[in-house]
């Protein structure tokens, strides 16, 4: 009698499924039969996975005979990654544009935020931040790359678009980036020889840079004006906004001829600004010394931590927010620790009749500390030494009593 064939294991491409054999007729019981195990792509990077193929004998005197299971190991070849298309772009002065599509290679477990930045002043990209999630990771999002006219005959010049590093609660995508996308900026200044009188040998003259004025915001709200000193010979000014003095996340918020810009709809936190000018003959000045402004009132919506949180907050400043009713169940604020530190978070001035709790969470929204006093009693969360990184403060509005006024939120470092 021939023993049944058995296998210790099978390795396939992604995820395994099995198909049962039809019955074996009496005339071909000695002929081996084949069952196919095929892979199913789930679009998720998951490494190796294990499954078992089971068998059941029926009829012909074999009913109830135990058949050995077959172990199937599925090898997941999906790899997380950021995809860009096309791989290179060309835009023409003075303001030509091109489209760049950004998508993900696999479905993420959490939203993926990808910052975008031009590598030189010869091109711009908008928007400068996109977010891809489980619903749009495959199709991605399209951004616009635009040429900046330097008004100087320089020939075609290189620029580039920096993509990433990404930020996500999915560790497979957090910190992921791709090589800069090369952009060729096609010069539109006419070619050919130029004849200049001797008096022009000192041309172009140097262009002085503007000086940023102190930014006044006595109300602490998210609307204020940024001004700077005008520069003789300047035809345009450029203002960048960032969340820190290093301008690592800088974005262009103004381009125009007036030496001022009114800004609005900014959320709680500290924002930094700098300005530069462009002369009528195309020369660009250097950036001014940076200046900052503190916004002390929350901006709605801020119900979702990783996409809407106000901040980052500054230690020891008092921020204000309000509960607008059942449609405003919670407010989120961002804290960023540049180095390990212990901290205390305080929630006070809770309006009469309301009941708000205080929660401290890590970047993956894991619970660190919680304070749930009754009614309008002040809330306090004391955290031990936390590693450097991003953290979220959640003000959870447990009950609304119709009280007016604003709560006060602050944190201190120990």
Render pLDDT for 162-204 as a digit per residue (tens, 0 to 9). Answer: 999 999 999 999 999 999 999 999 988 766 555 445 444 445 5
Residue 24 has pLDDT above 60, yes or no: no
Non-local CB neighbours of 123 within 8 Å, separated by 6+ positions: 91, 145, 146, 147, 148, 159, 160, 161, 183, 185
Pull the structure tokens for residue 158: 């290189």
Mean per-residue pLDDT of the chain: 86
What are 344's two structure tokens?
């205390």
Return residue ranges of the chain for CATH 2.60.120.380. Answer: 305-413
Considering the chain, what percentage of its residues have pLDDT values greater than 70?
A: 82
What's the pLDDT tens digit per position in 193-249?
554 454 444 455 566 799 999 999 999 999 999 999 999 989 999 999 999 999 989
- Beta bridge mates, 101: 85, 142
Please determine, for residue 127, whether its predicted confidence score (pLDDT) is greater than 90.
yes
Q: Where in the chain is the domain with CATH 2.60.40.10?
A: 82-186, 209-295
**How high is the pLDDT of residue 48?**
59
- Whether 8 has a pLDDT exceeding 90, the answer reads no
Q: Which of 15-24, 26-35, 385-394, 397-406 has the lowest mean pLDDT?
A: 15-24
Higher pLDDT, residue 18 or 386: 386
Query: To the nearest whole percent, how much of the chain has pLDDT over 90?
Result: 67
Give the pLDDT band of residue 52 (cuts 50, 70, 90): confident
Confidence of residue 74 (pLDDT cuts 50, 70, 90): low
- pLDDT for res 315: 97
Is the pLDDT reported for residue 116 higher than 80?
yes
Q: What is the pLDDT of residue 219?
A: 95
Three-state secondary-structure class, residue 407: strand
Task: Tell which residue, 253, 213, 211, 210, has the closest CA to residue 235.
Answer: 210
> Cα separation of 414 and 412, whole Å?
7
Specify whether the CB–CB gap between 82 and 163 falls below 8 A.
Answer: yes
Confidence at 81, pLDDT banded by 50, 70, 90? very high
- Per the structure block, which two tokens stand in for 247? 């301008």
Name, in order, each residue with C-beta under 8 angstroms of 187's C-beta and a sequence gap of 6 or more.
93, 153, 154, 155, 156, 157
Mean pLDDT of 359-381: 97
**Tokens in use for 113?**
């935020």
Q: What's the pLDDT score for residue 87?
A: 92
| The CATH number of the domain covering residues in 209-295 | 2.60.40.10
CATH architecture for the domain at 305-413: Sandwich (2.60)
Distance of alpha carbon 312 from alpha carbon 343, whole angstroms:
15
Distance CA 174, CA 406 (A): 35
CATH number for the domain whose boundaries are 82-186: 2.60.40.10
């Amino acid at each position: 009698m021939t023993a049944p064939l058995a296998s210790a294991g099978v390795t396939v491409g992604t995820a395994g499924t099995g198909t049962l054999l039809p019955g074996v007729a009496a005339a071909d019981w000695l002929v081996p039969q084949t069952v196919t195990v095929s892979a199913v792509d789930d679009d998720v990077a998951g490494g190796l996975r294990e499954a078992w193929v089971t068998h059941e004998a029926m009829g012909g005197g074999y009913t109830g005979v135990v058949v050995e299971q077959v172990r199937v190991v599925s090898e997941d070849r999906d790899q997380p990654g950021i995809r860009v298309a096309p791989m290179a772009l060309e835009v023409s002065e003075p303001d030509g544009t091109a489209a760049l599509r950004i998508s993900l290679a696999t479905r993420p477990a959490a939203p993926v935020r990808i910052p975008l930045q031009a590598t030189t002043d010869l091109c711009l990209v908008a928007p400068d931040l996109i977010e891809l999630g489980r619903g749009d990771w495959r199709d991605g999002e399209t951004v616009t790359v635009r040429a900046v006219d330097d008004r100087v005959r320089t020939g075609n010049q290189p620029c580039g678009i920096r993509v990433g590093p990404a930020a996500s609660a999915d560790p497979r995508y957090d910190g992921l980036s791709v090589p800069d996308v090369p952009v060729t900026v096609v010069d539109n200044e006419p070619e050919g020889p130029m004849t200049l009188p001797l008096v022009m040998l000192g041309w172009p003259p140097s262009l002085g840079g503007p000086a940023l004025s102190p930014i006044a915001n006595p109300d602490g709200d998210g609307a204020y004006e940024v001004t700077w000193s005008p520069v003789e010979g300047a035809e345009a000014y450029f203002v960048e906004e960032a969340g820190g003095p290093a301008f690592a996340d800088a974005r262009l918020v103004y381009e125009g001829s007036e030496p001022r810009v009114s800004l609005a709809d900014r959320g709680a936190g500290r924002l930094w600004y700098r300005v530069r000018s462009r002369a009528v003959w195309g020369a660009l000045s250097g950036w001014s010394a940076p200046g900052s402004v503190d916004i002390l009132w929350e901006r709605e919506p801020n119900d979702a931590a990783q996409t809407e949180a106000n901040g980052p907050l500054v230690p020891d400043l008092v921020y204000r927010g309000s509960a607008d009713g059942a449609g405003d169940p919670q407010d989120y604020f961002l804290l960023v620790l540049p180095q390990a530190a212990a901290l205390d978070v305080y929630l006070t001035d809770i309006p009469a009749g309301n009941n708000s709790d205080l929660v401290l969470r890590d970047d993956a929204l894991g619970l660190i500390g919680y304070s749930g006093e009754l009614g309008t009693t002040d809330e306090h969360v004391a955290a031990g030494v936390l590693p450097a990184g991003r953290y979220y403060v959640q003000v959870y509005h447990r009950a609304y009593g119709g009280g007016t006024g604003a709560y006060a939120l602050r944190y201190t470092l120990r």
